[in-house]
């Protein structure tokens, strides 16, 4: 797969949080692959959420959190503007999706992937896939 992949805040947090080692390892593997392939993408909202959560959870990690945000700028954060809103409305109408869902959990619907990941090219649901999988 060569499409870019939108990364949600939780993936970035899981990569740091040792509270759940299984999630931490999975997030680290995924993040490493995206760095190597150059396919990772995020939004400015994700960067803001990441920084806020890290500094709230680990107050002494402000410097490290800022460094991570600076590094993640290489993933070309997406700003929500009029073009993004228009695209979201088009996709919402075409696939009958929740508007807020288009901005949530990295579904890729805002230009990262050509169609939502649980849909085929003709818009039909893919068997065994739930929205957000």
Average pLDDT, the chain: 78
Question: What's the whole-number mean pLDDT along residues 37-64?
Answer: 93
Residue 104 has what pLDDT? Answer: 53
Q: How deeply is 71 buried, as exposed, middle or buried, from its count of CB atoms within 10 A (0-12, 13-18, 19+)?
A: exposed
Per-residue pLDDT band for 103 (boundaries 50, 70, 90) equals low
Residue 6 has what pLDDT? Answer: 85
Residue 133 has what pLDDT? Answer: 35
Domain boundaries, the chain: 5-75, 81-133
Q: Collect all residues with Cβ–Cβ distance below 8 Å to 51 and sequence separation of at least 6.
A: 65, 66, 69
Residue 125 has what pLDDT? Answer: 41
Greatest mean pLDDT among 29-33, 78-82, 106-110, 126-130: 29-33
Place of tokens 């803001």: 48
Question: What's the whole-number mean pLDDT along residues 35-43?
Answer: 91
Per-residue pLDDT band for 83 (boundaries 50, 70, 90) equals confident
SS (H, E, C) the chain: CCCCEECCHHHHHHCCCCCCHHHHHHHHHHHHHHHHHCCEECEHHHHHHHHHHHHHHCHHHHHHHHHHHHHHHHHCCECCCHHHHHHHHHHHHHHCCCCHHHHCCCCCCCCCCCCCCCECCCCCECCCCCCCC
Per-residue pLDDT band for 120 (boundaries 50, 70, 90) equals very low
Question: What's the whole-number mean pLDDT along residues 122-133?
Answer: 37
More confident residue, 125 or 20: 20
Judged against a pLDDT cut of 80, whether residue 93 lies above it is answered with: yes
pTM of the model: 0.66
């Amino acid at each position: 797969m060569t499409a870019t992949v939108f990364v949600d805040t939780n993936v970035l947090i899981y990569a740091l949080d040792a509270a759940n080692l299984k999630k931490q390892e999975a997030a680290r593997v995924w993040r490493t692959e995206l760095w190597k392939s150059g396919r990772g993408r995020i939004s400015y909202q994700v960067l803001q959420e990441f920084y806020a959560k890290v500094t709230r959870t680990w107050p002494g990690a402000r410097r490290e959190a800022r460094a991570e945000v600076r590094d993640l700028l290489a993933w070309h954060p997406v700003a929500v503007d009029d073009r993004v809103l228009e695209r979201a409305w088009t996709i919402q109408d075409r696939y009958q999706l929740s508007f807020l869902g288009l901005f949530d959990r990295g579904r890729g619907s805002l230009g990262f992937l050509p169609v939502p990941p649980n849909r085929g090219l003709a818009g039909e649901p893919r068997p065994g896939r739930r929205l957000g999988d």
